[in-house]
Amino acid sequence: MEFAITTDSLAKRFGSGKGSVPALPGVSISVRRGEIYSLLGPNGAGKTTFIKCLLGIVFPTGGSGYILGMPLASIAAKEKIGYLPENHKYPLHLTGEQVLRYFGKLSGIENSQLGARIDETLKLVGMSDWRSMKVKKYSKGMMQRIGLAQAMINDPDLIILDEPTDGVDPVGRKEIRDVLTLIRDRGKTVFLNSHLLSEVERISDRVAIMRKGEVITEGTVEMLTSTKNQYEIRISPDAIAQAKEILGSAFHRADDGLIEAEFMNPNDLNAAIDTLRTNGIAIESLAPKKTSLEDLFIELIGTSDVQR
Amino acid sequence: MLKKFIAICEETYREALARKTIIGYFIISTLVILVVMFIFMNPTVKEQMMKVQQYGKKSPNMAADMIMVKALDIFWTVVLMMLNFVTICLGVFSTTGFITSQMEKGTIDLLISKPVPKWLYLLGRYLASLTIIGLQVTYFIIGIWVVVGATMGIWNIGFLGSIPFIVLGFAGIYSIVVLVSVLSGSSALSMIVGIGVYFISSIVAAGRGIAAMSGGESKSLLATIADVLYYILPQTGDMSENMKNLVVGNAITILPIFLIILLASSYFMLSIYFFNKKQF
């Protein structure tokens, strides 16, 4: 399988000697081509440091990694990358179009293609009408959009986005999500760094959760949010008491006709369903119980870390 | 690579225009040129200056006339010294931001993420700044030269020749400003150091000149320090001396030209070295 990003124990310490601080003890991840991969974690978890290591903004102190099969931070790799940093700043005297022109030229786009790329990316992020306005007059949401356009100006194979929906209103966030999905559908890879869990849950193919510089869990959203052996059974609210008695220790809790129950194996589940039906309780729905990414995040990180 | 370099230079010019320093300099230059024009068009001044010329041609060996003949040379020299001072000070103030604005969080991350070697950003900004200062100086000097030439009929080519010396002096000082900007990321500190170095190098040049005239055999500690400073700081004093020599028609000294180019290059290479090592 081809990977867009692979790192093997990528480490970063700030400072030297006894006073050095381990920002990343050693991160090993593999991001597949054509997926939206999200890195989650509380503030100070090392997400931005990890991205900076990938791009050569800071230098790793250990481990190794490749981007699109090329060494980290190499010029060749950067030609195929688009990056939107957190709190990005553009020269305030430039218009949105001039920003794209400048960074497009730095990305090595030929002058003959630049105009078309600018038109396309501005249209994609819904900024065509404000292309001639100076960026100093842009709202936070507009800055994020022009930043996204800047990251896409060179039609990169890999887009790295650090908090792309930060400060954007719900409508803007949805539009950015749509753009990212569109990019993914075009075969590009999106590496997303965000603390907006609901956003991540909606668009990510795979997610990694980081704490104190280490990836503590990784997988598809489906896999991470599924709960093993736990099911949700919807019945009539009037039959809850009877169902509780029938299910016995398998019963966990019930809320307005929705029962949460745990069974050791599918046979136990089927037997329980049969018993409920035999006792005249109609099953309205049955599904494996899912947790939200937010619940999982809080469970893994701990409330104190989240609040920090 | 060339296209990326040009893009960086273009952006520097746009930033300079946006900061309005170029426009400010051109407005001030134009005002000074106009003032000089009005002075030289004044009939009394014109008459006196023509007299100077006539005396100079007829009896250049007479002491009194020699003073008169020197009047124009003094005028050119004073204009050049003032211009040199103003250019370096204003130049440092107006161009330091071109380097430090690149170092700001949120900007530098973006720049480094692009497929551009780090040194190209510094080189583009440095050379673009030099061309901005060069253009400003050229405009001012040619303006004064044309005004004096047209009103008095005196076309001192040596005055024009001072343009590269002013730019070289600035290039030397600016290379130190770039180094401090890279190391500290602070505009204020870089400007203070730049202007400070300019004053120290001028004092060192003056001190060495006095020491050379006094012709002492043994060197004092102060003279040794001055010598060391002379070789590690840009030779702006010598550039001024060369300008004066050009104006009065004397030979210029070549060594300081090589020295200042060497120093500016060395400081600039050092800036690149630290910029490449720096993490953001």
B269 vs B208, higher pLDDT: B269
Contacts of A86 in chain B (CB under 8 A): 106
Rounded to 10 degrees, the C-alpha dihedral A160/A194/A148/A4 comes to: 20
- CB contact, 8 Å: A59 with chain B? yes
Q: What is the pLDDT of residue B111?
A: 96
Choice among B41-45, B127-131, B219-223 with the minimum mean pLDDT: B219-223
Closest partner residue to A106 among B7, B17, B101, by Cβ? Answer: B7
> Using an 8 Å Cβ cutoff, are A220 and A205 in contact?
yes
Q: What is the pLDDT of residue A211?
A: 87
How far is A196 from chain B, CA to nearest CA, in Å?
21
Q: What is the pLDDT of residue A171?
A: 85
> Using an 8 Å Cβ cutoff, are B214 and B273 in contact?
no
Mean pLDDT of B260-280: 95
pLDDT in tens, B69-107: 567 777 778 888 888 898 899 889 989 999 999 999 889
Q: What is the pLDDT of residue B86?
A: 86
Closest partner residue to A57 among B8, B18, B112, by Cβ? Answer: B112
Kindly list the distances between the CA atom of residue A228 and the CA atoms of A220, A274, B272, in Å, as whole numbers in the listed order: 15, 21, 56
- Report CB contact under 8 Å: B115, A93: no
- CB contact, 8 Å: A79 with chain B? yes
Q: What is the pLDDT of residue B58?
A: 57
Q: Which residue of B has its CA nearest to A99?
A: B11
Q: CA A220: distance to chain centroid?
A: 11
pLDDT in tens, A94-130: 999 999 999 999 999 998 999 999 999 999 998 999 9
Ordered alpha helix ranges (H), chain A? 47-55, 75-78, 96-106, 111-124, 140-152, 170-185, 197-203, 221-225, 240-247, 266-278, 293-301, 303-307
B219 vs A246, higher pLDDT: A246
Q: What is the mean pLDDT of chain B?
A: 87
Ordered alpha helix ranges (H), chain B? 2-19, 21-41, 43-58, 63-103, 108-113, 118-152, 157-160, 163-184, 187-214, 221-232, 236-248, 255-277
Of A63, A77, A105, A73, the C-alpha closest to B279 is A73
pTM: 0.84
- Report CB contact under 8 Å: B113, A83: yes
Q: What is the pLDDT of residue A273?
A: 92
Assign B269 a pLDDT band (cuts: 50, 70, 90).
very high
Mean pLDDT of B144-164: 86
Q: Which residue of B has its CA nearest to A153?
A: B114
Assign B176 a pLDDT band (cuts: 50, 70, 90).
very high
- CB contact, 8 Å: A113 with chain B? no
- Write the CB contacts of A79 (distance below 8 Å, at least 6 apart in sequence): A107, A108, A154, B115
Q: CA A279: distance to chain centroid?
A: 46
Q: What is the pLDDT of residue B67?
A: 56
Bridge partners of A262?
A230
> Using an 8 Å Cβ cutoff, are B160 and B140 in contact?
no
Q: Which residue of A has its CA nearest to B108?
A: A57
Q: Whole-angstrom Cα distance, residue B175 to residue A262?
A: 72
Within 10 Å of residue A222's Cβ, how many Cβ atoms? 10
- Report CB contact under 8 Å: B109, A107: no
What is the ipTM for the molecules in this complex? Answer: 0.84
DSSP A46: S
Residue with the two structure tokens 């719900």: A170
Q: What is the pLDDT of residue B57?
A: 56
Closest partner residue to B106 among A85, A103, A108, by Cβ? Answer: A85
Residue with the two structure tokens 């699109």: A68
Contacts of B3 in chain A (CB under 8 A): 105, 108, 111
Q: What is the pLDDT of residue B143?
A: 93
- CB contact, 8 Å: A61 with chain B? no
pLDDT at B59 exceeding the cut of 80: no
Q: Whole-angstrom Cα distance, residue B93 to residue B132?
A: 13
Kindly list the distances between the CA atom of residue B122 and the CA atoms of A278, B20, B188, B191, B196, in Å, as whole numbers in the listed order: 80, 22, 19, 17, 22
DSSP A95: B
Which of A58, A97, A105 to mutate to test binding with chain B, by most B CBs within 10 Å of its CB?
A105
Stretches where chain A sits below pLDDT 50 are 304, 306-308
Strands A214-220 and A285-290: unpaired
Q: What is the pLDDT of residue A306?
A: 47
pLDDT at B215 exceeding the cut of 80: no
Question: What is the phi/psi pair of residue A162, to 5°?
Answer: -105, 110
Q: Which residue of B has its CA nearest to A151?
A: B110
Residue B190 is encoded by which pair of tokens? 């870089």
Q: What is the pLDDT of residue B159?
A: 86
> Using an 8 Å Cβ cutoff, are A226 and A203 in contact?
no
Q: What is the pLDDT of residue A303?
A: 54
Q: What is the pLDDT of residue A224?
A: 85
